[in-house]
Structure formats: C-alpha cells, structure tokens
Amino acid sequence: MFYKMTRRSVLSLSVALAALSLSAAPSFAQEEKVSWRMQALWDGGTTPQNYEQKFVDRVAELTDGNFEIELFSAGQIVPPAQAFDAVRGGAFQLMKTFDGYEAGKIPALAFTSTIPFGYPETQQYEDWFYEHGGLEMAREAYAPAGLYYIAPTIYDQEPIHSKVPIETVADFSGKKGRFVGLASSVMSTFGVAVSPLPTSEVYSALDKGLIDLADRGDLQANLDAGLGEVAKYIILPGVHQPTTATSYVANKAAYDQLPDTYKEALATAARDISKEYQEAKTKSDKSALEAFKEQGVEVIELKEDDVKDARSKAVEAWRVATKDNELATRILDSQIEQMRELGLIE
C-alpha cells in the first residue's frame, strides 16, 4: 500500500532516526566526564612512575578522553604507608600499591604480591590471576576494607646483592640479610638473620658490613643506586622475589559508580601496561647486568634443582604465613595446585 509522506510524518521520522543514531553511537561518547586522582608507589621521574603515566594516558585514550586520572608520585598526597587508609576514606580514588604492605592485617595479600621461591616466570603468576581465580580472590581480600582490586602489574625477579659468594641455597644460612614482607619469614627459614631495613638504608648497611646481602629493587634501580660499589656478587635467580605483582586498587564506592566502559578501560590499560613493563624490564635487566660485570661484580646463578628442592621447604613457611586465615589458605592452596601442575613442586 502506498503511504503519502506529509510534512508532519517526515518530521516524526527524522526525530526517530536521530534517536536511533544516538543509541547506536559508541557508549563512551555518551558517558559523562569523570576525574580521579591516583597516587603511585614510585618517585617522580623513575622508570616505574613513567609507566604509571602510560597507564593513565591509556585509560584516557580508551574512554575518548572522558575518564581523566591525575597522577601523583609516592608521598605527594599522603605518606606511602597511609595510602591504604586514604583511598579507603575517599581522599583519592586510586592507588598503585604492593599488597604485601598490608599482609599483617590481611594475610591473603601476602600471596597476591610475591611468593618467595614461588613462580619463577611472570606468565605463570599472571596465569594464576587470570586463569585460576586469582583476581576474584584478591578482590575478596580487599572488599571488607571498602576497596576494589582492579588488576596487577606483574614482572620477574629482583636480584640479591651480596658481599660474600652464595653458591647454594644452603649458603644463606648464618648470613645477615635485608628482606621485607613474606620474604623475611621465608628467608629466616633458610637461616638468614633478617633486618627489615628501609630501602634508603641498604647501600650504607652493605657498605658498613651491617648486613651480608640484601634485596633492594630491580637490577637497573640497584645499578643507579651504586650497589656494585658495596656488594661484589649478584645472586640469581632472586629466590626471595622471583616474580612480583604490584596492584591497582580503587575506592570501591567510586569504582561502583563508573560506567562499565570505564571499568573495562581500567582493566585493559592495566594488563597492557603490565606486559609492556615486563618487556622493557627484560631489556634493562640485560644492560644493567653487563654494566655490573664491567664494575667487577660477579654474577652467581643457583642451580635449578637446588631451588626446586628449597621450594618444597618454603611451602612450610608459606603455610605459617596464612595465619590459618580461610581466604589466605584458599589462595595458597590454589597456587600450590597450579605449581604442581607446572612441575614446580612434587
């Protein structure tokens, strides 16, 4: 049947088509602008802080500039030790943190940050988060505090710098060392007299002989700090911290108010930057090791079988660190199951 178009029907059709066009537009184009503040773990101008800038830039890119995150370096808004409570209270919406800092209050977080003698490869730890329920359990750990775990940045080993040669895991026994977090209790199990010194005191403690060996940071950071001047041995792999996960954690009330597209942007940007950071670290580790060798530093590599045997012993220390907490135990059980599947534990 032929339908005659009147001026009124044309106008109605135009309005309908405009509405249809608007509904079909990309969702981010309809979202209101959101502004957050984020405090990171790192000092301004450092390589890790530069990657946090890439993270906030990526979030803006994914949301067509509608979701803006103002980035602050460590301590710019509150002292680093107060960031947990500051985000919880809404002083700012997002932090980059190391979960192990809060493991004393939330035992589960000991295992979402680093596992001494645990996963030797970044991909294995990433798989635990994304394929074995790790993300959900990390979120469960933070939820009672009114916080939301978004995603980790995962990277591989940090070295041990030593004034004395360490050829086997047994050689750690009787030495004085600087370690923090879960590594403190695990390395104590292997006979190390642990001193949890601040990072800023590692150089002088090695120089004065107050400690024999130390964990401090990644190879490039330690090269920049001059550790080759006071410790003539580097021990690899860094069994105290074979892989590490730092994390993006948000105020849950603020997170819940975000459009789904913005939540997706946070998760996507976090995973993108995690992979990019690891790729860059692989290159910087190689160049830093060469620079250490030019300074006369000897690199000692522990045998794989020796580390694997020690991993079985470390399981006992991991169990103690759960403090019989139900969630911490559930997390550790899932990680041990995965490690068995990977052949890391018999």
Which residues define the annotated binding site for Na(+)?
A: 216
For residues 280 and 3, the model is more confident at: 280
Task: Provide the pLDDT confidence category of residue 199 given band limits of 50, 70 and 90.
Answer: confident
- Kindly list the distances between the CA atom of residue 23 and the CA atoms of 16, 18, 27, 90, in Å, as whole numbers in the listed order: 11, 9, 8, 34
Q: Are strands 147-156 and 213-215 parallel, antiparallel or unpaired?
A: unpaired
Specify whether the CB–CB gap between 43 and 49 falls below 8 A. yes
Rounded Cα–Cα distance for residues 275 and 265 (Å): 16
Task: Provide the pLDDT confidence category of residue 31 given band limits of 50, 70 and 90.
Answer: low
Q: Specify the pLDDT at position 5.
A: 37
Listed in sequence order, the DSSP H helices in 63-198 are: 83-89, 122-131, 134-142, 182-189
Rounded Cα–Cα distance for residues 44 and 71 (Å): 10
pTM score, whole prediction: 0.86
Rounded Cα–Cα distance for residues 76 and 130 (Å): 32
Task: Provide the pLDDT confidence category of residue 223 given band limits of 50, 70 and 90.
Answer: very high
Which residues define the annotated binding site for substrate?
A: 158, 178, 215, 241
Which residues define the annotated binding site?
A: 158, 178, 215-216, 241
For residues 307 and 27, the model is more confident at: 307
Residue 340 backbone class (left: φ over 0; alpha: ψ -120 to 50; beta: rest):
alpha
Of 36-45, 321-330, 333-342, the poorest mean pLDDT is in 36-45
Span 45-66, average pLDDT: 95
| Structural domains present in the chain | 33-157+243-284 (3.40.190.170), 160-240+292-341 (3.40.190.170)
Span 52-56, average pLDDT: 98
In the chain, the percentage of residues whose pLDDT exceeds 70 is 91
